[in-house]
Amino acid sequence: MPRVPREERGSRRGQDERVEAEANVSDVKESKAQRAERLKRELNPWEAYAAIERFAREGHAAIPPEWATYFRWWGIYSQGDGVGAVGGTGGEGRATKHFMVRVRIPNGIVNAPQLRTLADLTERHARGIADLTVRQNVQLHWVTVEDLPPLMHALWRAGLTSLGACGDVTRNVTGCPLAGVDADEVLDASPLVLEATHLLNGNPEFYNLPRKYKVTITGCRAWCSYPEINDVGLTALRHPASGEPGFSLRVGGGLSTDPRLGARLDAFVRWHQAVPVVRAVTEVFRDSDVLRQHREKARLKFLFLQHGWTADKFLAELEARLGYALDRAPHEIPPEDVYRDHVGIHPQRQPDLCYAGATVLRGRITPGQLRVLADAADRHGDGQLRTTTMQNVIVVNVRRERVAALARELAEVGLPTGGSPFRRGTIACTGTEFCKLALTETKGFAKRLVEDLERRMPSFSEHVKLHVTGCPNSCGQHWIADIGVEGKKLKVDGALVDAYYFCVGGALGARQSVARPIGLRVPATEVAPAIERLLREYLASRRAGETFRAFAARHDDATLRALLAGSPVPAVERDPAGGLLPAGVDG
The per-residue pLDDT for range 485-533, each reduced to its tens digit, is 999 999 999 999 999 999 999 999 999 999 999 999 999 999 999 999 9
pLDDT at site 179:
98
Please, are residues 473 and 299 in contact by the beta-carbon 8 Å criterion? Answer: no
Indicate the SS3 state at residue 170: strand
**Residue ranges in the chain whose pLDDT is less than 70:** 1-27, 90, 337-338, 576-587
Contacts of 526 (CB under 8 A, 6+ apart): none
pLDDT at site 3:
53
**Strand order, beta sheet including 384-387:** 109-111, 384-387, 393-399, 353-358, 344-347
Q: Parallel, antiparallel, or unpaired for β 269-270 and 353-358?
A: unpaired
pTM recorded for the entire structure: 0.93
Residue by residue, DSSP assigns 186-249 as S---HHHHHHHHHHHTT-GGGS--SS-B-EEEE-SSS-TT-GGGSSEEEEEEE-TTT--EEEEE
Please, are residues 350 and 400 in contact by the beta-carbon 8 Å criterion? Answer: no
The CA angle 490-494-498, to the nearest 5 degrees, is: 30
Same CATH topology for 190-322 and 344-419: the answer is no
Q: What is the CA radius of gyration of the chain?
A: 23
Contacts of 346 (CB under 8 A, 6+ apart): 354, 355, 357
Query: 190-322: which CATH topology?
Result: Sulfite Reductase Hemoprotein; domain 1 (3.30.413)
**Nearest of 455, 356, 354, 372 to residue 412 by alpha carbon:** 372
Going 247 to 248 to 249 to 255, the CA torsion angle's sign is negative
Query: Rounded to an integer, what distance in angstroms lies between the CA atom of residue 69 and that of residue 390?
Result: 28
The CA angle 56-58-62, to the nearest 5 degrees, is: 95
Indicate the SS3 state at residue 493: coil
Query: 344-419: which CATH topology?
Result: Alpha-Beta Plaits (3.30.70)
Please, are residues 39 and 69 in contact by the beta-carbon 8 Å criterion? Answer: yes
The per-residue pLDDT for range 438-475, each reduced to its tens digit, is 999 999 999 999 999 999 999 999 999 999 999 988 99
**Nearest of 241, 236, 233 to residue 221 by alpha carbon:** 236
Phi, psi of 338 (to 5 degrees): -85, 155
**Strand order, beta sheet including 483-492:** 426-428, 466-469, 483-492, 495-504, 516-523
Alpha helices, DSSP H, located in 260-334: 274-286, 302-305, 311-322
Long-range contacts of 60-65 (CB under 8 A, 24+ apart): 60/97, 60/144, 60/145, 63/145
Please, are residues 373 and 311 in contact by the beta-carbon 8 Å criterion? Answer: no
Contacts of 30 (CB under 8 A, 6+ apart): 22, 38
Calculated CA dihedral for residues 147, 150, 154, 160, nearest 10 degrees? 60
Q: Does domain 423-565 have CATH number 3.30.413.10?
A: yes
pLDDT at site 341:
85
Per-domain residue ranges of the chain: 32-157, 190-322, 344-419, 423-565
pLDDT at site 16:
47
Query: Rounded to an integer, what distance in angstroms lies between the CA atom of residue 91 and that of residue 392?
Result: 31
Could you tell me which CATH number the domain at 32-157 has? 3.90.480.20
